[in-house]
Structure 1
């Protein structure tokens, strides 16, 4: 059986992918120049490891292979095997991920897989004997086994090189040295953990087989990984794109433009995925059923697959969706970034921007007025490492719960990284930006209540089976102006908006002039926001805050944002104030917010590139007039067997574990009524959405405005009922009071 996705063209050459390429055009002279500029740029920012480090990695892999061979012989002898069988016993190390793809950078982890025979168990032998062997070696530090993970892994450093080691227990008595794990037969009679562990290597190898030019693929993928990290959309666990997701997206672009260089591939990456109608899947090859009966991704037959919003399907059997973590909120963020990248690449083609503009860091802490801050602590470094891994795996639940319990009206933007307050021992914290769903009309006095949502999330986190005293989690609200200083470089809070150069301003002017009309027609988000834009935005926010308190007239909103939903419903930017949810003392804060400017892009560092000569003969095959043809080709690609796939708005399988806790919430509802009755709240008068929150703050920071007294049903309904259809006309409240909820729960228990 040949490689799926490989077929013959009329000219006798093989093509890759499940469709014909969009363009067979080769590179122009301008492509050659800009590709060299890109490669030089990537080298300049330190994305390539030194020769010394590369040799060090090879030595570590060699030593690790020796260690597992000694390990399997030791356990074979310990199980009573005769000496001949002991000598024949073997284990083997494979690599996958960024190292196997050839796109790893300095200090990156090495993803490795240990393949062992059927008599070498995972729990007793791998996490028992092998862990003991490694713990006794001086070269090994920071050994951290995670046997209960979805894909069990042993993490450690070997001579300073970070290693993630998985284990696959095959149904073989002897592991041959020339073992080919790409064969389907390797999956016979193995457990689920082995299938998952083998999947990384099998997918990586298949990707390299399904791209037309490996070196071009590697340069493009290295570029897109850097872009995703700079723009804050590189984190599979947070609901964004991980390494394998980006590899599959880039590989598909390489199939669609098989003769293009990285410069053109980067541009087409954004052009294609800006137009992609999610949840249509991205696939490198046809999904094959296989002969082993393992489940594969198929929304027509598997109900759970219908809830996936951004399916990117792995090419190796059993084919799976690699982006099941994506939520509606994170998909919105990524769609915005695809649009921004497409606009900048068009500007680069017109020699009005350079690579600096594309890689400008995303100004996360300047983009929202309201954030959730999730702090975690533990008693020692080992406990914190375990607690951190568990909490990070659950953070996506918080986004899902908020989306679900507010009927999708409140959207979260999780920051993909963590921060530490050096003044607090064994501490990490995470942030999520909050904003109202775009394009939804604002009703008078509208509020959201996510107190019980957050309490529910904390309950699920605290159910950690390896929980130890000192492992704590605290969720609170923080406004943009009160972001802790330790999250900023050097621990110094910027006195004003991010500084931008003259080139940044020039890029902003480019948006207003060169792309202004296009953005009006598309409602598009711009390439960047310069310093003047940020200042005007903040002034307008302050003016609107003041005017909303003294006037009943509605405040005009910014222009509509570009479309991100599959149904292409226009989306307008609108955000309300959202406030605290967790604290020791609770004081009411009532605000009338007229809305929030959308998450902006700080000014770009793009400078005007000099005009480069273009070969008219080469360029004639792929000039700008072919954009419409490309659009039609993309539409054709998405008209395959899954064109009718419509993602459902929720993922109940992700929230099934909440059922037991919801029963506890019902018991808590009665006590909540007594709490809410004690609140003396004034009716709101502003016509803009009122966001009333009970939050931890000093008296000087609290406003005196109030709102109507809430019935207990208003507090609990969003958590106890599931909407039968998309967002109803009347939406729930965002009213946050963490302390009173905890006290009520304690009393009820």
Structure 2
């Protein structure tokens, strides 16, 4: 790929050669300074005073665990010499260790102790007791049964998550190196998982070419992901470690780039990425300890993973197993949006504010599920929230499976509280019908049984207490409670003009192939052509989840904020399997985008080290408009060649041993045993929770049929709004569902029915 020799003796990092060795241009330097100032103004950097406070807390915590291990060593009858030598050590990992934490962020810490210091009796027993007696420790909350057991608390106001790893050593040396694989010898699974956080974090820092550029880029992507609503591992999106791994891989592919270019290439690469091809910072090592590593060729459960992002430390595992087809679709749309904005920034048609526009979640859909939970007190609510949050992803999976992926869910990653109601909070999911599929008159999706099964699963919580309640209902956009909005005030509509709304406005240019001159470089299609492309995008995504040989091609999300606008889609520039019609359309799109390519080609200093282009890849430059006369056609051709070369490089990167692994046609209810409270399901009448899961997976088409049916002729259930556009219909509680009950299942209350009626019928009713 054109990097046979790295400059200045630079070592190649990663499993492939870089895509480009190009250094920064003046434009990159200027835009990187702008980005750093933007992040500073956004309050992402802690003060020096807070940094010193964190160091003091970590030092104090290290002293406490050293006292603790000596105390339990003496209590266990060890001789005085061993008591004197007894030691424990504190390590950090996560955002704090990576150097990208912000003000008020918690510190992920690991206590490493000797073989005679047990997890249950000593760590969660004696150490918990010591901490509970200290006045500076507050909100102490042990989670023993978590996938990775953790003790949560605040120390002098600083949030701490403390894990424990028991090594097979009698004495923990002060200079212990936990990066060595031998440290895992004779340890239990919980210790391996606990150590993994530190080992992965340290390995990431070793595998990036420039730590400072990595940190700035990661801060940028974390902020972007939070503002766009795709930062949450438990909701099925990506968490901190996932974003760190994705950014680190881009740093490896562009080792001499500054953050401005790294952000742009982040979106460009992952827009073209063929999931479920894995993202890896290094080769997967089998190791000598026999621990299982991620390998879909040998491990059937790994074939369910839709967006594998592999940790670089042994045992290498997929860090993103929570991602579902719905959240992958949403993130892919956001990557596409980010890529378009970065190109617009190069043409001076957008800025950093545009990229960081918050996602208008409560304007994006007309219909939502509201999941409301409550408890008797703050402690109960904290435990109840943790359990419910770990289950919400299953509701998304079940809804989409039971409606054959025709009803799509968009979970909001956060919760909302009504200040007037103590010990109460709500979660929301946006709902929409799959785009590009014709709506049959009277078609409805009935998810009442699905919601009821979800509630039964949640109510099987082994630590359930009176007052722990959950209620699920459908609400329309106009009925969104005010407490979800900043200050409790519902914003006036329409909202301010944003990148998303401008794109949606372009789509409303019905039957007109062009748009405003300032956006002439965008590929704006007429309504019919856009519908075909949107359908093809959805179909492509469905196929990609089953076949790794297809490129993921999904529409951007912005146009969803408009009631009448279908998602705007562009055929993916990375698609390699298209027919002649697709090729012609793709050529037209490349022609429209060539204006932006002309602006981008100013940055041609990145060309050294890029893989050689194929002949004819720059022909799109000949069809450019003459709007930008200051840039020559030859320069535009160079940029087109560079992009095509990058595309080929990305394709080569993904042609590895895992390229052909297939995903199963259905996702399991449990993609991984990942929930924090996995052992806290009580026995409900012969393990009802597991029986529900099994029945969901093995259900035949005939058994699932009630979920997709023709609506009866009863006019009382024909509620339509906005001229018969897609609406979800709430159903009165109490009506029986005879077709959904069985002898061994209690009668279920109707909860939600989803209704799609033709425009003609709606118009009749409105008249």
Please give the secondary structure, in 1, of the residue aligned with 2:344: helix
Matches within 5 A, 1:544-693: 565=541, 566=544, 567=550, 597-598=566-567, 618=605, 621=608, 624-625=639-640, 626-652=642-668, 654=670, 658-661=689-692, 681-682=714-715, 693=729
* In structure 2, distance between residues paired with 1:425 and 1:573: 38
Picking from 304, 309, 325, the partner of 1:307 is: 304
- 8 Å CA contact 2:329–2:554 kept in 1: the answer is no
What is the CA–CA distance in structure 2 between the aligned matches of 1:512 and 1:304, rounded to whole Å? Answer: 49
Post-superposition offset of 1:327:
0.6
Question: What residue number does 1:463 align with?
Answer: 460
1:442-481 mapped onto 2 (5 Å cutoff)? 442-481=439-478
Partners of 2:567 and 2:38 in 1: CA distance: 30
Check the 8 A contact 1:311/1:321 in 2, yes or no. yes
- CA distance 1:376–1:598, shift in 2 (3 Å): farther
**Equivalents in 2 of 1:9, 1:620: separation in Å?**
14
The residue matched to 1:15 in structure 2 has which SS?
coil
Counterparts of residues 411-490 of structure 1 (less than 5 Å):
411-490=408-487
Deviation at 1:738? 2.8
- Look up the match of 1:39: 36
The equivalent residue for 2:523 is 519
Where does residue 338 of structure 1 map in the other structure? 335
Indicate yes or no: 2:117 matched with 1:86.
no
Query: Match for residue 350 of structure 2?
Result: 353
**How far did residue 494 of structure 1 move?**
1.7
1:423–1:438 CA distance, 2 compared to 1 (3 A): same
Q: Cα distance 1:63–1:33, how it changes in 2: closer, same or farther (>3 A)? A: same
- After superposition, where does 1:716-735 map in structure 2 within 5 Å? none
Q: Which residue of 1 aligns with 2:73?
A: 76
**Is 2:253 the partner of 1:259?**
no
* Structure-2 separation of matches of 1:643 and 1:501: 38
* SS of 1:205 mapped into structure 2: helix
- Give the direction of change, closer, same or farther, for the CA distance of 1:396–1:516 in structure 2 (3 Å limit): farther
TM-score, normalised to structure 2's length? 0.77
Helix, strand or coil: the match of 2:108?
A: strand
**8 Å Cα contact 2:309-2:319 kept in structure 1:** yes
Q: How many angstroms does 1:7 deviate by?
A: 11
Aligned mate of 1:407, from 404, 411, 416: 404
Q: Distance in 2 between matches of 1:267 and 1:360?
A: 16
Report the counterpart of residue 738 of structure 1 in structure 2. 751
- Residues 367-391 of structure 1 deviation map (CA, whole Å, 9 limit, x = unaligned): 0011001111110011111111111
Tell me which of 240, 243, 247 is aligned to 1:246. 243
Contact map agreement 1:440 1:571 (CA 8 A) in 2: no
Shift of 1:511: 7.8
**Is the 8 Å Cα contact of residues 8 and 14 (structure 1) preserved in structure 2?**
no
Offset of 1:408 from its aligned partner? 1.5
- Secondary structure in 1 matching 2:164: strand
Summarize the Cα distance change of 1:614–1:51 in structure 2 as closer, same or farther, 3 Å threshold: farther
Counterpart of 2:295 in structure 1 is 298
Pick from 220, 224, 227: which aligns with 2:224? Answer: 227
Aligned to 2:105: 108
What is the aligned residue count? 645
Q: Per-residue CA shift, 1:595-616, capped at 9, x if unaligned?
A: 774499xxxxxxxxxx999987
Rounded to whole Å, the distance in 2 between the matches of 1:482 and 1:171 is 58
Distance in 2 between the 1:248 and 1:428 partners?
Answer: 32
| Residues in 2 aligned to 1:394 and 1:616: alpha-carbon distance in whole angstroms | 47
Kindly provide the CA deviation profile for residues 228-275 of structure 1, in whole angstroms up to 9, marking residues without a partner as x. Answer: 011110001101111000000000000000000000000000000000
**Residues 301-356 of structure 1: CA distance to partner in whole angstroms, max 9, x if unpaired?**
00000000100000000000000000111011100000000000000111111100
Establish whether residue 216 from structure 1 lines up as the match of residue 249 from structure 2: no
| 1:512–1:142 distance in 2 versus 1, CA, 3 Å | farther
Tell me if the contact between 1:447 and 1:691 (Cα under 8 Å) persists in the aligned partners.
no
Q: Is the 8 A contact 2:222 2:240 kept in 1?
A: yes
Cα distance in 2, alignment partners of residues 503 and 291 from structure 1: 51
SS in 2 for 1:448: strand
Within the alignment, does 1:495 sit opposite 2:492 as a pair? yes
Q: CA deviation at 1:561?
A: 8.1
Structure 1 counterpart of 2:678: none
Are 1:16 and 1:212, in contact at CA under 8 Å, matched by a contact in 2? yes
Structure 1 position 661, deviation (Å) = 3.4
Structure 1 residue 84, shift from structure 2 partner: 1.3
**Residues 569, 258 of structure 1: CA spacing in aligned structure 2 closer, same or farther, 3 A cutoff?**
closer
CA contact (8 A) 2:272 2:552 kept: no
Change (3 A) 1:124 1:192: same
- CA deviation digits over 1:176-220, x for unaligned, max 9? 101000100011111111010000000000000000000110000
* Counterpart residue number, 1:580: none
- Name the CA distance, whole Å, in 1 between partners of 2:649 and 2:352: 27
Compute the displacement of 1:496 (Å): 1.4
Residue by residue over 1:516-551, the C-alpha shift from the partner in whole angstroms, topping out at 9 and shown as x without a partner, is 66434799999xxxxxxxxxxxxxxxxxxxxxxxxx
Query: For the Cα contact (< 8 Å) 1:367–1:598, is it kept in 2?
Result: no
User: Does 2:692 correspond to 1:695?
Assistant: no
Aligned CA-pair RMSD: 4.0
Partner SS state of residue 443, structure 2: coil
Deviation per CA, 1:389-409: give whole Å up to 9, x if none. Answer: 111111111111112222222
Equivalent residue of 2:523, what SS?
A: helix
8 Å Cα contact 2:456-2:689 kept in structure 1: no
Instruction: Tell me if structure 2 keeps the 8 A contact 1:19–1:637.
Output: yes
Q: 1:664 to 1:13 in 2, by over 3 A?
A: closer
SS in 2 for 1:203: helix
Flag the 1:353–1:132 CA change in 2: closer, same or farther, 3 A.
same
Tell me if 1:387 matches 2:350: no
CA contact (8 A) 2:448 2:752 kept: no
Deviates more, 1:650-659 or 1:260-269: 650-659
In structure 1, runs of 5+ residues without a counterpart are 1-5, 527-555, 578-593, 601-610, 699-708, 721-734, 741-749
- Measured after TM superposition, the shift of residue 505 of structure 1 is 6.2
Q: In the TM superposition, what whole-angstrom CA distance separates every residue of 1:421-464 from its partner, at most 9, and x where no partner exists? A: 11111011100001122333433322111111111111111111
* Residue-by-residue CA offset, 1:104-124 (whole Å, 9 max, x unaligned): 000000000000111111111
User: Which range is displaced more, 505-514 or 317-326?
Assistant: 505-514
Partner of 1:582: none
Alignment of 1:59 onto 2:95: no
SS of residue matched to 2:277: coil
Three-state SS of the structure 2 residue aligned to 1:180 is coil
**Judging changes above 3 Å, is the alpha-carbon distance between structure 1 residues 454 and 616 closer, same or farther for their aligned structure 2 residues?**
closer
Distance 1:386 1:506, change over 3 A: closer
Q: Is the 8 A contact 1:375 1:475 kept in 2?
A: yes
Tell me the equivalent position of 2:619.
Answer: none
- Which stretch of structure 1 is more off in the superposition, 507-516 or 481-490? 507-516
- Counterpart contact for 1:412–1:432, Cα < 8 Å: yes
Distance (Å, rounded) in 1 between the aligned partners of 2:42 and 2:105: 15
Q: Give, in angstroms, the shift of residue 95 of structure 1.
A: 0.2
Quick one: distance in 2 between partners of 1:270 and 1:522? 26
Structure 1 residue 499: Cα displacement: 2.5
CA distance in 1, matches of 2:464, 2:244: 36
Q: Rate the CA distance shift 1:513–1:394 in 2: closer, same or farther, 3 A.
A: farther
> Quick one: distance in 2 between partners of 1:323 and 1:149?
17
How far the C-alpha of 1:410 sits from its partner, in A, is 1.3
1:534 corresponds in structure 2 to none
The 5 Å alignment of 1:161-172 reads: 161-172=158-169
